[in-house]
C-alpha cells in the first residue's frame, strides 16, 4: 500500500525521499478523504478515535474534533456497549488478522443505521501494535429492502396458508350440495319409466353436477401443485389397462357429441406411477380432445413403448392449435380464446394439472399441431417399470343389505332423505 511504501522510504534519511514520502502521504489522505460511501476510521491501540475521513463525519453526524480521543463505543448502540462488542471485535481482529461485522450503529442524533464494517490491526515497522483501521459502509437501504422482501414473503406464505384453508372449507361446502344433487338425480332416473322426461332431466342434472365437481377438484389440485403439496402414491400399474378404462369412461361424452373414440393398447405396459393421478392425466387429455373436436371427428388414444419409455398419445381431428398459442397450451389459466363469449367453457387448468402430474412421475408432456384445422396431438411419456403383473385378488363375495338394519346419518337433511330413498328400493 501507499502507507507501507511511505514507511519504508521514510527509513532512508535523504531530503529527496522525505519529500516523496510527504507527497505520498498527502495523496493517500486525499484518496481516503474522497471516499463518499465508506467511513474510514483510525483508532489507537485502546480503541479510541484518532482520525477519520470526511464521509465518517457525514454518516455519523459528529465533528472530528468533538470525538477525537473518545472511545469508538460512541458509535455503538447501548445494547452493544453493554455486551463489550468493541473490545471483542478488536481482540478478534488481532487473532484472525481482521474482523467483519454487520450491525446497527448510532448517529449523533440518536437514529440508527445498518452498517457493514471490517477492522484491521496496524503495526509499526518493528511489529508493535499502533492501532486499528475500521472501514464502514452504510447498508441501511439494502437492509431495509431485504427486510421488506422477507416480510412480503412471510405475508405471502400466510396468505397462501389462508387460501389453502379457504379452499378446503369451500370444497367441502360445495361438494355437500353437489352430492345431494347427484344422489337425487340418480333417484329420479329410477322413475324414468313413469315419465320419460324424468330420465332426461336426471341425466342433465347429473352431467352438470359432475362438471361442477371436476372444476372444484381442478381448483384444489392446482392449489396443491402450486404449493408443492401434490403427493404421489406410486405402485406398479398397467398403462394399457388404465388407458382402456379412461376411454370407456369418456365414451358416453364422445358419443353424445358424435365423436368416434378409439383406443389402441394391444399389450400390457407396466410403469411405476400413481394410478389415480395418471387416470386424471388421461381424463384431461381425452376430455380436452373431445371438447375441441366437432361431431363426425375422431379421437385416438394410443399406448406404446419406445426407447425404454411408455408413451401415451392422444390425437384428434379437431380445430388445431395456432402456432402463437402452442408454447402456452399447458400453462394454467391460459386459453386460446379467453373472451367471455367463447364457445368452449372451462377454467384452463386441466392441461396444467396434467403437466404437473407427468413431471412428478419424472416424465414429460408435450403438444404438437400443424395449425388451425390440422388437428392437435398431445403425448405423455413416462419411464417403464420392469416388473410382472401382480396376481389378481379373488373377487369378494357380494354383500347384501337384505335383512339388515341400517341407520342413516348425514350432515344435512337432504343427504339423509336421499340415503333412505335409495335403501328403500333395495328391500
Residue 145 belongs to a domain: no
Ranges of H-type helices in 34-128: 54-60, 64-67, 78-82, 85-96
pLDDT in tens, the chain (427 residues): 334 434 444 444 445 444 554 555 555 566 666 667 788 899 999 999 998 888 888 889 999 899 999 999 999 999 999 999 999 999 999 999 999 999 999 999 999 999 999 999 999 888 899 999 999 998 889 899 999 999 999 998 888 788 777 877 777 777 777 778 888 788 888 877 777 788 888 888 887 787 777 777 777 777 777 777 778 888 888 888 998 998 888 888 888 889 899 988 878 888 888 888 888 888 888 888 888 888 888 888 988 887 777 888 888 887 778 888 888 888 876 666 555 444 555 567 788 888 888 888 888 888 888 777 665 555 555 554 444 444 444 434 444 445 555 555 555 555 555 556 555 554 5
29 belongs to a structural domain: no
* Domain count across the chain: 3
Residue 289 lies in a domain: yes
In sequence order, the β-bridge partners of residue 316 are 299
Give helix 350-360 / helix 196-226 axis angle, nearest 10°: 50
pTM as predicted: 0.51
Q: Do 273 and 298 reside in the same domain of the chain?
A: yes
CATH number, domain with residue 198: 1.10.287
What is the domain-level CATH number for residue 372?
A: 3.30.565.10
Euclidean distance between CA atoms 193 and 382, whole angstroms: 47
Distance CA 97, CA 119 (A): 9
Range of the domain at 93: 35-138
Amino acid at each position: 500500500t501507499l502507507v507501507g511504501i511511505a514507511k519504508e522510504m521514510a527509513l532512508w534519511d535523504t531530503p529527496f525521499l522525505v519529500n516523496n514520502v510527504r507527497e505520498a502521504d498527502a495523496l493517500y489522505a486525499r484518496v481516503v478523504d474522497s471516499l463518499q460511501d465508506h467511513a474510514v476510521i483510525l483508532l489507537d491501540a485502546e480503541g479510541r478515535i484518532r482520525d477519520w475521513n470526511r464521509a465518517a463525519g457525514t454518516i455519523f453526524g459528529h465533528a472530528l474534533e468533538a470525538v477525537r480521543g473518545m472511545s469508538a463505543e460512541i458509535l455503538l448502540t447501548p445494547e452493544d456497549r453493554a455486551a463489550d462488542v468493541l473490545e471483542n471485535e478488536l481482540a478478534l481482529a488481532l487473532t484472525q488478522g481482521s474482523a467483519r461485522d454487520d450491525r446497527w450503529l448510532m448517529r449523533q442524533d440518536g437514529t440508527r443505521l445498518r452498517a457493514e464494517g471490517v477492522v484491521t490491526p496496524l503495526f509499526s515497522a518493528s511489529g508493535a501494535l499502533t492501532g486499528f483501521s475500521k472501514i464502514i459502509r452504510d447498508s441501511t437501504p439494502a437492509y431495509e429492502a431485504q427486510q421488506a422482501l422477507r416480510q412480503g414473503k412471510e405475508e405471502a406464505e400466510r396468505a397462501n396458508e389462508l387460501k389453502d384453508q379457504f379452499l378446503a372449507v369451500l370444497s367441502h361446502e360445495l361438494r355437500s350440495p353437489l352430492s345431494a344433487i347427484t344422489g337425487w338425480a340418480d333417484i329420479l332416473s329410477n322413475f324414468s319409466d313413469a315419465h320419460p322426461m324424468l330420465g332426461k332431466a336426471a341425466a342433465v342434472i347429473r352431467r352438470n353436477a359432475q362438471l361442477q365437481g371436476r372444476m372444484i377438484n381442478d381448483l384444489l389440485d392446482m392449489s396443491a401443485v402450486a404449493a408443492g403439496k401434490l403427493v404421489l402414491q406410486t405402485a406398479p400399474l398397467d398403462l394399457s389397462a388404465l388407458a382402456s378404462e379412461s376411454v370407456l369412461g369418456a365414451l358416453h361424452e364422445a358419443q353424445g357429441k358424435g365423436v368416434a373414440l378409439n383406443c389402441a393398447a394391444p399389450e400390457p405396459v407396466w410403469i411405476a406411477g400413481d394410478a389415480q393421478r395418471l387416470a386424471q392425466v388421461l381424463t384431461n387429455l381425452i376430455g380436452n380432445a373431445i371438447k375441441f373436436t366437432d361431431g363426425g371427428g375422431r379421437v385416438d388414444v394410443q399406448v406404446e413403448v419406445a426407447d425404454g419409455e411408455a408413451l401415451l398419445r392422444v390425437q384428434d381431428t379437431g380445430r388445431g392449435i395456432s402456432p402463437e398459442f402452442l408454447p402456452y397450451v399447458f400453462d394454467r389459466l391460459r386459453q386460446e380464446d379467453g373472451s367471455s363469449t367463447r364457445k368452449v367453457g372451462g377454467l384452463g387448468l386441466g392441461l396444467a394439472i396434467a403437466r404437473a402430474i407427468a413431471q412428478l412421475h419424472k416424465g414429460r408432456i408435450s403438444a404438437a399441431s400443424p395449425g388451425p384445422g390440422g388437428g392437435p396431438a398431445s403425448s405423455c411419456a413416462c419411464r417403464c417399470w420392469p416388473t410382472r403383473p401382480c396376481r389378481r385378488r379373488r373377487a369378494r363375495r357380494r354383500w347384501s343389505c337384505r335383512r339388515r338394519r341400517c341407520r342413516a346419518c348425514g350432515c344435512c337433511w337432504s343427504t339423509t332423505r336421499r340415503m333412505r330413498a335409495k335403501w328403500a328400493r333395495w328391500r
